[in-house]
Amino acid sequence: NAGVTQTPKFQVLKTGQSMTLQCAQDMNHEYMSWYRQDPGMGLRLIHYSVGAGITDQGEVPNGYNVSRSTTEDFPLRLLSAAPSQTSVYFCASSYSTSGGKGGYTFGSGTRLTVV
């Protein structure tokens, strides 16, 4: 099925551990992004990419790294997990020139708990 696939769906980490949230899309979308969703704060942009090899910071990038070696994949790395990174994480993608026409395609989210 075409769409955005996020893994894992749930994860519990200990403070200081590192991990990678995976995101893959099969729609040949140039634009990909990561958001975190926290109660009362909506979705906030962490990092985004406008194409392979190009990434940039969003609103809340601290503590996260990204890379975009292929069009399909956009992993999000937590270098040293902190309790403040407990959140639900969404990956989303769109065509670069028509994101406004069809909106984004979202993954199903990853619920991360840092203890």
Partner 1 sequence: AQTVTQSQPEMSVQEAETVTLSCTYDTSESNYYLFWYKQPPSRQMILVIRQEAYKQQNATENRFSVNFQKAAKSFSLKISDSQLGDTAMYFCAFMTRPGGGATNKLIFGTGTLLAVQP
**Residue numbers of the site for partner 1 (CB under 8 A)?**
31, 33, 35, 40-45, 48, 50, 56, 58, 88, 90, 92, 94, 96-104, 106, 108-109
55 vs 4: CA distance, rounded Å: 18
Are 63 and 85 a contacting pair, CB within 8 Å? yes
Considering the complex, state which of residue 11 and residue 17 has its C-beta at the smaller distance from partner 1. Answer: 11
Considering the complex, state which of residue 9 and residue 18 has its C-beta at the smaller distance from partner 1. Answer: 9
Smallest gap from Cβ 80 to partner 1, in A, equals 26
Smallest gap from Cβ 11 to partner 1, in A, equals 15
Considering the complex, state which of residue 20 and residue 96 has its C-beta at the smaller distance from partner 1. Answer: 96
What would the 3-class secondary structure string for 77-104 be?
EECCCCHHHCEEEEEEEECCCCHHHHCC
Which residues are within 8 A (CB) of 39 and not within 5 positions of it... i.e. 6 or more apart? none
Smallest gap from Cβ 106 to partner 1, in A, equals 4
Amino acid at 78: L
Are 31 and 48 a contacting pair, CB within 8 Å? yes
Smallest gap from Cβ 93 to partner 1, in A, equals 9
Considering the complex, state which of residue 48 and residue 74 has its C-beta at the smaller distance from partner 1. Answer: 48
Q: Can you tell me which residue has the tokens 């519990």? A: 12
